[in-house]
Structure 1
Amino acid sequence: MTAYPAPQHIMETSLKALDLARIQFAFTVSFHIVFPALSIGLASFLAVLEGAWLKTGKQHYKDLFHFWSKIFAVAFGMGVVSGVVMAYEFGTNWSGFSSFAGPVTGPLLAYEVMTAFFLEAGFLGIMLFGWHRVSARAHFGATLMVAVGTLISTFWILASNSWMQTPQGFEIADGRVVPVSWWAIIFNPSFPYRLAHMAIAAFIVAGLVVAGTGAWHLLRGRRDPAVKTMFSMAMWLLLILAPVQAFVGDLHGLNTREHQPAKLAAIEGIWDTEKGGTALNLFGIPDMEAETTRYALKIPRLGSLILTHSWDGEIRGLKSFPKEDRPNSLIVFWSFRVMAGLGMLTIAFAAIGAWLRKRGRLFDSRPFARAMVWMAPTGFLSLLAGWVTTEAGRQPWVVYGVMRTAQAVSPLHEQQVEVTLLVLVLAYTLVFGTGIYYLLKLMRTGPAHPDGHDTARHKRQQQTARRPMSAADDTIEAV
């Protein structure tokens, strides 16, 4: 594979400007990813709730739909707004990447807009505002289309990002990528694993939020069908999907070993290629200068068993790669362990929930409910840690093995990036901080009470809104 030759003006870009541009993109994409992840999971949850209501006619399913559709609407809106900023950054901060890889990434993102976004936008209005204006089955169809649209969006975004991780199906001509096989580009070696990993992660993120919200209301004495149903459904989802996610993650690790061995070595803090079996570093502090993992707690041969599924499998150490091609092991070593640790914690709490359910105490254990309230944000933390592992582990490449990140950055002065980074931090803190606060306040209100003491709000939920922001009809002060 031939690496892309760097233009002179890119080579002269200051390292600090490059670092600031990376920090800016990491900041904006971190804010962005949490909202689509929640939207993807909630869209499918809403489809299940409406389907259950149509099948059983039970009012609490419809009440849950109205409650969670407001939260979905706010999260969806913030996801769209935060994603627009990233599109501009490709032009302002990463013009080298856009010029080089645009013939591949541009069409993939265009496909996402033409299929997923148009599908979501077209049916979102019916889903949120179409009650009493279309038939129940037509409304359910719209909800299904929104859910499908979020998954199609995931497909195209992951196809683009996975191609950057394991690129194939292209040639380089006149200093830019030329697509040769779109099938090979889309279904590149890491795509199936990364798509499954991200989709399941989104469902787990939403499941933890729903479980935490249900636990919050259980702690406040609510035992009505709506609260118990959403808590029960979320715990079932976590019980099934959390172990599946661990299995998919294992397959993803095997794929990474084959196609991105330097990333795997950095994740595990392995410096020397050990013959006859590799130890697993449970904990430690990788030192990039000294080329060692300090204070490492090792378990002999366990690395081979987990990473190669054999007792004496060999893992290439970081020293076998040139220094300029090594990811920062300190970052990915710990980000991976945060992701994996929170994943194992989720599996443990899902198992405890199953045990409590079997004993008939799922809705009555206050310590467990308090624990699930604290677990609610861990899905987001695990998601962000996973993306840090993926993206930082790809460095120093923006297109793995083809184009370096330093070649992708625009010819910027560090002061330009400092100013825009400061503006973005202030704007994001104000806008999305307020949005997150509002989401939390909405979750505190809970679904409509069956005893009728919030009849006015329940009646508003059954009415058709006249404008998009009316989908969330409670003010910040009122909730």
Structure 2
Amino acid sequence: MDITALLLSRLQFAFTVSFHIIFPSFTIGLAAWLTMLEALHLATGRPAYRVLFEFWLRIFGVAFGFGVVSGIVMAFEFGTNWSELSRVSGPIQGPLLSYETFTAFTLEAGFLGVILFGRQKVAPWFYLFSTALVALGTTLSAFWIMINNSWMQVPVGYVIENGIFVPNDWAKIIFNSVVWSRFPHMLLAAYLTGAFCVAATGAWYRLRRTFVAEAKVMLRMGLYLAAMLVPVQIFFGHLNGDYIHDYQPAKFAAIEGRWHDEQPASEVLLALPDEASESNTYAISIPVLGSLIASMSFDSKEVGLTGFPPRDRPPVLIPFFAFRIMVGCGLVMLALAWVGTYLSWSGRLAQNRLVLWLTFLSFPLPFIATLTGWFTAEVGRQPWTVYGVLRTADAMTPFLTARAAMISLIVYCAIYTFIFAFGTFYIYRLLRAGPSGRGMLPPSIARLSQPLSVDPAPDKASVPQVPVGE
């Protein structure tokens, strides 16, 4: 086995999956937001809801496309770089990914065209139904991926036959206990991503004094939703910590920065872990709190990393700091959502430019929290691909050379960087143009912005299109 090829393959998959997850974490929440807007428009007849729906639908279409394209590449990597993982776990992972195709992709492919091009061709109730099914499809996609990943984190419901993982209890695999803390945690992360992106866009327009009515709706709904969801997300984050504590004690010790067994255990808030000396420098700790968080006890014994052989320990620095960045982003989002909601209720948010600026600048926080959460989960799982039974080194494609891995890594990085730059710039142009900016769209997708309704009877009246930048 070529150690360099292994490292490069891990870097390549980390790069592609990190790039890819940005788009689903945005579009899952955005699909739910679109469903809510369409339902509110049908219920109230307010033109602002329809205008916002058409505006965010354009952004959803672009982001969805980038998510699909970036996700396809990972399927090829399972064959090119991780063929042993595909071979030995294919009887389990293959059907799970097929279930995603038969459910999630079918709904998305079948009804995305309706919401993109069918506004004038179907009844309003069916259009809302189609929007809801697209949102359901994005949710099911996350569901099956989380089942697949949760099986790799805590493998259950299988036997090993001739070195192959063969399922013997699909109920245990699909209803794995850790799925029901990990899947809601990911789903809530997507909803929070959508909520903060919507609120940040509303704050941006309010600061620019443009699209005032739409900005008010985006600010209010985005911050209200975030204020309700962040505490729930923190709760499910704690449940995730419980499963790590019970099933992956080495990962838990790395996250905590705990090198030696402690009873009671302290909680390391900040430190600089040193793997060479198996100790922390510049540590800031709170006595007893570690036992309370880990076991809801004031005197529980918590295991340290030295209790595991060095070859079975994960890298410490990445999960240790990634976890703290994730938690820090969550606390900042909680404070901002609650303060913004209070000011909105009291009618003072529009005049508070500091909070508006903070809300506008908050849009990267959910993306950072999502990425660092995945870094914590995946790097902390090392040196295992299927935890406890298949090492990452044994999952790599045999005879893969460092040269081949390096070439593919460079190509992927170059192409993905170009795609990300182009996609980010185009979405920025859509955002800058605003809810009434339809003239900038290319002819191929011009029908995404077909006439918008300005009265309670959306299918009978329309307003003329206004070119952008004129």
TM-score (norm 2): 0.93
Q: Does 1:442 align with 2:430?
A: yes
Indicate yes or no: 2:288 matched with 1:288.
no
Which residue is 1:152 aligned to?
A: 140
Q: Which amino acid aligns with 2:168?
A: V
- AA matched with 2:384: W
- Secondary structure in structure 1 of the residue aligned to 2:351: coil
- Whether contact under 8 Å (2:254, 2:319) holds in the other structure is yes
Q: Work out which of the residue numbers 448, 451, 460 in structure 2 matches 1:471.
A: 448
Q: Which residue of structure 2 aligns with residue 10 of structure 1? A: none
2:273 alignment partner, SS class: strand
Which residue in the other structure is 2:361 paired with? Answer: 374
Matches within 5 A, 1:47-446: 47-222=35-210, 224-275=212-263, 277-411=264-398, 412-446=400-434
2:221 partner letter: M
Tell me how far 1:80 sits from its aligned partner: 0.2
Structure 1 position 358, deviation (Å): 3.4
Q: 2: distance between equivalents of 1:153 and 1:395? A: 25
**Do 2:249 and 2:303's aligned partners in 1 also have CA atoms closer than 8 Å?**
yes
Q: CA deviation at 1:469?
A: 7.7
The aligned runs of 1:443-458 (5 Å cut-off) are 443-448=431-436, 457=438
Alignment of 1:20-39 (within 5 A): 20-39=8-27
Distance 1:478 1:111, change over 3 A: farther
Q: CA RMSD in A?
A: 1.8
Using a 3 Å threshold, how does the CA distance of structure 1 residues 53 and 147 change in structure 2: closer, same or farther? same
Deviation digits for residues 9-65 of structure 1 (CA, Å, limit 9, x no counterpart): xxxx11111000000000000010010111100000000000000000111000000
Identity of aligned residues (%): 46
Tell me by how many angstroms 1:364 deviates: 2.1
Note the C-alpha offset of 1:295: 1.4
Q: 1:92 to 1:407 in 2, by over 3 A?
A: same
- Return structure 1 stretches of 4+ with deviation > 4 angstroms: 465-470
Tell me whether 393-402 or 435-444 shows the greater mean CA deviation: 435-444
Relative to structure 1, the CA distance from residue 185 to residue 478 in structure 2 (aligned partners, 3 Å threshold; closer, same or farther) is farther
Deviations 1:307-363 (A, max 9, x none): 211211222111111111111111100000000000000001011112212331122
Moved more, 377-386 or 361-370: 361-370
Does the CA contact (< 8 Å) of 2:211 and 2:434 recur in 1? no
Cα distance in 2 for residues equivalent to 1:76 and 1:331: 29
| Equivalent residue letter for 2:25 | A
| Larger CA deviation: 106-115 vs 252-261 | 252-261
Distance 2:469 2:313 in 1: 53
Number of aligned pairs? 453
Q: Distance in 1 between matches of 2:38 and 2:168?
A: 44
